Chain A
Amino acid sequence: MNITKSFNRSLWAFHFNSGSCNGCEIEIVATLTPRYDPERFGIKLVGSPKHADLLLVTGPVVKKMRPRLLRVYEQIPDPKVVMCVGACGISGGPFYDSYNLDGPIDDVIPVDVYVPGCPPRPEGIIFGVVRALQKLERLQGELP
């Protein structure tokens, strides 16, 4: 991975649960805790979308969460990358035929990185974050 000049700070992520089963949430938190410890690279979860570069979305987007997801997406400053964690956000997964879904996620907001799995392993999530970082660098390099 080439660190471009424009990329001069750590990656901060905001996590949004759009009605998931919680499995992906646990794995995201497990990713952040000491065994994997991405915080040594400055990667951490933040409490406000306005501080984030990366949006981690889990869950199949239930109807009530759609406007909230849009609002959160709009609040993240550009350049931003969206990462969809888990099978149910990618395609509906085990909930594909539910009547209460507005998803999958890429029907609601544009997604840059997909991490498949139900739930994905922490290693998979870290790999996805690396990909997201590469894309973010590219986007930041393109900015005037």
Chain B
Amino acid sequence: MSDDTKKAVPYTVPIGPTHPALKEPVMFTFQMEGERILKADFAPGQAHRAIEWMGMRRNPVQIVHLTDRICGICGVSHTLSFARAVEQVMEIEVPERADYIRAIIAEFERIQSHILWAGVAAHELGYDTLLHLSWRVREFAMDVLELLTGNRVNYGIIQVGGVRRDITPDQHETIHNCLDYYSDLKAKLLQVFLEDKTIQMRCRDCGVLTHEEALKLCTVGPTARASGVKMDVRVDYPYAAYGDLEISPVLPDAYLGETRGDVYDRIVVRLLEVDQSVDLIRQCLDLIPAGDITWEAKIPKILSAFKKAHGEAIGRHEAPRGEVFHYVRMDGKEHPTTWKVKASSYSNLMSWIPMLEGEQIADIPIVVASIDPCLSCTDRVAIVRDGRRGIMTKEELTRLSVEKTRRLMR
């Protein structure tokens, strides 16, 4: 190594913040030495829309439609935890049938979200065939969601005190067909993702998050479970219909016999959770009781009940990406006086730093995607080396990633 290159090491690589293929634009800064990442840092908050501020000026009947739009992929998760918080403040008993419908929709959302993620992960590895295949099989879950709620995205099905649409008996057949389809698909999905040599080479021991780090950084959801942390809000604090269902957290060692906390383990956990969701929906359909679907159908009555509500409560839900958490305080007004949202990705973002440090630049896309962050912001990279500045686009980063795959296959 000549002297003047030595001086330039470590150099800085900023990535972002525009063109996220997914949710939040984020700004990354990497300290690099050659191809290796020495230090990673990031700055979220580029897509701040002031949702909590707006919510404190609207009433909860309106807010449920705003919570749908906190994140388009977790359309029902935020609404469910918000509604649960408000219901606890108002001391409403949600009808049991509504609880089951909520669980069914939430599990369908998990199916489509995990398959969506699997496709994105494949894309980041340069395996676009698998992206297209995954998104094609995902459309069946979208069809059923549309059948049940009327919308493909942002379902608008949950209302404070219940749900807005019932599941009719003639819909059961379509739901069962869809579930059978995903059960049959399980072996195929596991095969194409887990037995593929390329995926093994790129994901095994890449982006490792140890058990202690996962606990220390308070990660949630599949990211935590892939590191061997046995936690799942559906099991630890059952709500909606989950208390009646047979469910236990999915851990990678159940399938692989060991837990390494790498990208591969995260793929395993998510794919197995698709199957778990299918099983949960089947249980729900068997157990779902007859009855009302909402505590009060008339909106003016719900609104006047808000004016009598005093107190504070939290609502939690295991979203596809982990625990979401809503805190609501009502002081006898139509709108909440305080509303705080903690989304699941927020808890997981910090885990990027231990995962990325020590990895190669070509691993950035897959490691960043591996926590399913609702963002894929590896858009533009500026490499400053010896004072020269070169801009790398997301395409070039993906190309680097694809090239690494090719190299490994040779």
- Chain A positions within 8 Å of B, measured between CB atoms, are 14-17, 19-27, 29-30, 33-35, 46-48, 59-60, 62, 64-65, 68, 72, 88, 94-95, 97-101, 118-119, 121
Q: Are B393 and A62 in contact (CB under 8 A)?
A: no
Q: Which residue of B lies closest to A119 (CB)?
A: B153
Q: CA of A29 to CA of B142 in the docked complex: distance in angstroms?
A: 13
A21-B70, A65-B18, A68-B17 provided; 8 other pairs, C-beta below 8 A?
A: A17-B23, A30-B139, A33-B119, A34-B136, A62-B47, A94-B69, A95-B54, A99-B50
CB < 8 Å: which of A26, A64, A99 contacts B72? A26
Chain A contacts of B398 at CB under 8 A? 47
Q: Which A-B residue pairs are the 7 nearest by beta carbons?
A: A23-B72, A47-B395, A33-B135, A22-B72, A19-B47, A22-B23, A21-B69
Q: CA of A125 to CA of B70 in the docked complex: distance in angstroms?
A: 22
Interface centre among A26, A59, A64 (most CB of B within 10 A): A26
Q: Are A100 and B49 in contact (CB under 8 A)?
A: yes
Q: How many A-B residue pairs have CB under 8 A?
A: 124
CB < 8 Å: which of A94, A99, A121 contacts B65? A94
Q: CA of A119 to CA of B53 in the docked complex: distance in angstroms?
A: 23
Q: CA of A20 to CA of B51 in the docked complex: distance in angstroms?
A: 12
Q: Are B54 and A34 in contact (CB under 8 A)?
A: no
Q: Are B136 and A33 in contact (CB under 8 A)?
A: yes
State the Cβ distance, A14 to closest chain B Cβ, in Å: 8
Q: CA of A16 to CA of B17 in the docked complex: distance in angstroms?
A: 11
Q: Which residue of B lies closest to A87 (CB)?
A: B69
B394 CB-CB contact with A under 8 Å? yes
A-B contact pairs, 17 of them (CB 8 A): A16-B18, A22-B72, A22-B374, A23-B69, A23-B154, A26-B72, A33-B132, A33-B135, A33-B139, A34-B132, A34-B133, A65-B25, A72-B19, A98-B49, A98-B50, A100-B48, A118-B154
Q: CA of A21 to CA of B20 in the docked complex: distance in angstroms?
A: 12
Chain B contacts of A88 at CB under 8 A? 69
Known: A22-B73, A62-B47, A94-B69. A29 touches B135 (CB 8 A): yes
Q: Are B49 and A19 in contact (CB under 8 A)?
A: yes
Q: Are B48 and A62 in contact (CB under 8 A)?
A: yes
Q: Are B48 and A19 in contact (CB under 8 A)?
A: yes
Q: CA of A20 to CA of B20 in the docked complex: distance in angstroms?
A: 10
Interface centre among A22, A47, A99 (most CB of B within 10 A): A22
State the Cβ distance, A57 to closest chain B Cβ, in Å: 11
Q: CA of A97 to CA of B330 in the docked complex: distance in angstroms?
A: 21
Q: CA of A100 to CA of B54 in the docked complex: distance in angstroms?
A: 11
Q: CA of A26 to CA of B117 in the docked complex: distance in angstroms?
A: 11
B71 CB-CB contact with A under 8 Å? yes
Q: Are B46 and A26 in contact (CB under 8 A)?
A: no
Q: Which residue of A lies closest to B45 (CB)?
A: A64
Q: Which residue of A lies closest to B139 (CB)?
A: A35
Q: Which residue of A lies closest to B69 (CB)?
A: A21
Q: CA of A15 to CA of B72 in the docked complex: distance in angstroms?
A: 17
Q: CA of A98 to CA of B142 in the docked complex: distance in angstroms?
A: 30
Q: Which residue of B lies closest to A23 (CB)?
A: B72
Chain A contacts of B22 at CB under 8 A? 22, 25
B164 CB-CB contact with A under 8 Å? no
B106 CB-CB contact with A under 8 Å? no
Known: A33-B136, A59-B47, A95-B49. A17 touches B72 (CB 8 A): no
Q: Are A94 and B18 in contact (CB under 8 A)?
A: no
B39 CB-CB contact with A under 8 Å? no
Q: Which residue of B lies closest to A47 (CB)?
A: B395
